[in-house]
């Protein structure tokens, strides 16, 4: 398996790419969500970092980010968090839905409770955040939503029935919203492959990641959170102003969908 890439964008390379934009990022306590929040602050955005347990403050100036605590399966809690961000920043220009949970049970063994929990967090939670943010995104006039699905939503494999179903649902939901909410709001989806996050590390040993998971990918390695964050940066910026409804696989060449 090849070494991880040395590329990390410098502040000069990303400076001002999100200047003036106010963006809510869910799942911002760790992993991909955390990487997105940190990158967006560096790119000049004001960021509301939302998680089930209030995340640590992001780097940047004191007025550039706030931490919001909400369970995305609770519509009222989500509405309060969105209003907190709007009150602090004076509006909302974008959302990135990175919150999610995994499940590796076989389809004939998963409990109904666990099935519902995965769907509730990954799919319904995404819906809750999008719907709460919609009026503010429309008012902004050039709103963006980036929903994180998964390579499992494109090309699933065994022991991922609930997870893959929830992530495939995110893709279909996002495409519908891209049609319904245009032209004032653009909605796009990112499908990461395996990424070096606490959630992935909890499911695989380092040896399995090196010897079994990495070789599934054309690039012969798993991804880094910053690589997914860079895709979210593009889809949240004016650089993608003519892009909506896409499903972008950032998966090292696993799915080739």
Catalytic residue (choose from 163, 204, 217, 256):
163
Q: How far apart are CA 192 and CA 148, in angstroms?
A: 8
Strands 22-26 and 143-148: unpaired
The residue among 79, 3, 65, 77 whose CA lies nearest residue 33 is 65
Query: Do you find a cis peptide bond into 183, omega within 30 degrees of 0?
Result: yes
Helix (H) / strand (E) containing 47: strand 46-51
Residue 152, SS3?
A: helix
The residues, ordered by sequence, that sit 6+ positions from 28 with a Cβ below 8 Å of its Cβ are 34, 36, 37, 47, 49, 50, 51, 55, 58, 67, 98
Q: How far apart are CA 111 and CA 54, in angstroms?
A: 29
Catalytic (active site) residue 163: yes
Would you please indicate which residues are annotated as catalytic (active-site) residues? 163
């Amino acid at each position: 398996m090849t070494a991880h890439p040395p590329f990390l964008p410098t502040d000069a390379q990303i400076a001002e790419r999100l200047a003036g934009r106010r963006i809510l990022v869910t799942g911002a306590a760790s992993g991909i969500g955390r990487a997105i929040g940190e990158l967006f602050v560096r790119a000049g955005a004001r960021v509301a970092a939302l998680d089930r347990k209030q995340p640590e403050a992001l780097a940047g100036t004191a007025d550039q980010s706030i931490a919001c605590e909400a369970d995305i399966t609770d519509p009222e809690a989500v509405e309060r968090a969105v209003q907190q961000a709007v009150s602090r920043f004076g509006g909302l220009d974008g959302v990135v839905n990175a919150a999610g949970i995994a499940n590796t049970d076989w389809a004939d063994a998963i409990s109904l409770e666990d099935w519902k929990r995965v769907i509730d967090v990954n799919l319904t939670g995404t819906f809750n955040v999008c719907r709460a943010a919609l009026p503010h995104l429309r008012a902004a006039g050039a709103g963006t939503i980036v929903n994180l699905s998964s390579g499992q939503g494109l090309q699933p494999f065994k022991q991922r029935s609930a997870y893959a179903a929830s992530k495939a649902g995110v893709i279909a939901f996002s495409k519908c919203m891209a049609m319904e909410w245009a032209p004032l709001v653009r909605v796009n989806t990112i499908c990461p492959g395996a990424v070096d996050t606490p959630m992935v590390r909890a499911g695989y040993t380092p040896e399995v990641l090196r010897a079994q998971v990495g070789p599934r990918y054309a690039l012969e390695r798993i991804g880094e959170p910053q690589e997914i964050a860079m895709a979210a940066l593009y889809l949240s910026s004016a650089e993608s102003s003519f892009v909506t409804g896409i499903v972008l696989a950032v998966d090292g060449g696993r799915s080739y969908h």
